Amino acid sequence: MKQTADRVAVVTGGTRGIGAAITTTLAREGYHVAAGYSKSRAASEQFSAKLIADGLSVSVHKGNVGDPGDCRRVIEEVLSLHGRVDVLVNNAGITVDKTVRRMTVDDWHAVLRVNLSGAFYMVQAVLEHMLERGFGRIINISSVVGETGAFGQANYAASRNHGKLCGPGLHRHRHGCRRSEQRAGAVRVQDSRRPTRPTRRGGSGRPLPRRGRRLLHHRRRYPGQRGTRNVT
């Protein structure tokens, strides 16, 4: 049965780490959040049950962002249940850390397939719906590693420097759709295999900086913005 929510957000990788914090933040701000996950169904359902018990509106959806068909299926599932998608947060990401000498071609493509191509597949899956409605917000969670690089993370660095993924390199529209890129630092997650050092932004407990949070508001024009030139 379709349940139309006032505002609906899709967060890929939305049940763990930074994604879980984004899901919680958006739900507390009144969104119904469709949080995506690829593994650990029990843990994902436990996460959503906790938020629902707190009076928040959350659903979880299993899918593989590295598969364009699966991306379309998840978006269609959310639309059939809730009638709309206002916000897409491309957060899902994986790591396969090895030096370039030891990294295989499969290791390289596995990371880019999820972290980079997955974001593109999700944008393609939801873009027509947003353009038809005349409103949409797309937020890409990238990484400081995409700019600085890191030892043993050549594939991850390449995959997380996708600020122009939904910018001029795709298309420019005047149909109410806007995009933003937010760079995160290192954050320890439950099944992390090695210790990480949280950076100021990654460990701040605020998954979306003020610029990213302002983008979510249902407004066509922003302070200081002369026109309504929108970027997907």
Q: Is 121 a catalytic residue?
A: no
Q: Kindly indicate the confidence band of residue 176, based on its pLDDT and cuts at 50, 70 and 90.
A: low
Instruction: Give residue-wise pLDDT tens across range 87-107.
Output: 999 999 988 999 999 999 999
Q: Is residue 16 part of a domain?
A: yes
Q: To 5 degrees, how large is the angle CA 207–CA 228–CA 218? A: 45
Q: Is residue 1 part of a domain?
A: no
Residues of the chain above pLDDT 90, percent: 54
Q: Is residue 3 part of a domain?
A: no
Average pLDDT of the segment spanning 51-79: 97
Q: Is residue 2 part of a domain?
A: no
Is 70 exceeded by the pLDDT of residue 169?
A: no
Which one from 31, 121, 156, 222 is the annotated catalytic residue? 156
Q: Is residue 207 part of a domain?
A: yes
Q: Say whether 51 sits in a helix, a strand or coil.
A: helix
Q: To 5 degrees, how large is the angle CA 179–CA 176–CA 228? A: 95
**What total of structural domains would you count in the chain?**
1
Q: Is residue 101 part of a domain?
A: yes
Q: Kindly indicate the confidence band of residue 69, based on its pLDDT and cuts at 50, 70 and 90.
A: very high
Q: Is residue 106 part of a domain?
A: yes
Whether the model pTM is above 0.85:
no
**What CATH number does the domain containing 92 carry?**
3.40.50.720
Tokens of 144: 């400081």
Q: How far apart are CA 94 and CA 37, in angstroms?
A: 12
Q: Is residue 201 part of a domain?
A: yes
Q: How far apart are CA 181 and CA 212, in angstroms?
A: 8
Q: What is the pLDDT of residue 199?
A: 38
Is 90 exceeded by the pLDDT of residue 219?
A: no
Instruction: Give residue-wise pLDDT tens across range 104-158.
Output: 999 999 999 999 999 999 999 999 999 999 999 999 987 766 566 677 888 788 8
Instruction: Determine contact, residues 82/8, Cβ cutoff 8 Å.
Output: yes
Is 50 exceeded by the pLDDT of residue 224?
A: no
Instruction: Give residue-wise pLDDT tens across range 6-53.
Output: 899 999 999 999 999 999 999 999 999 999 999 989 999 999 999 999
Range of the domain at 207: 8-231
Q: What is the pLDDT of residue 111?
A: 93
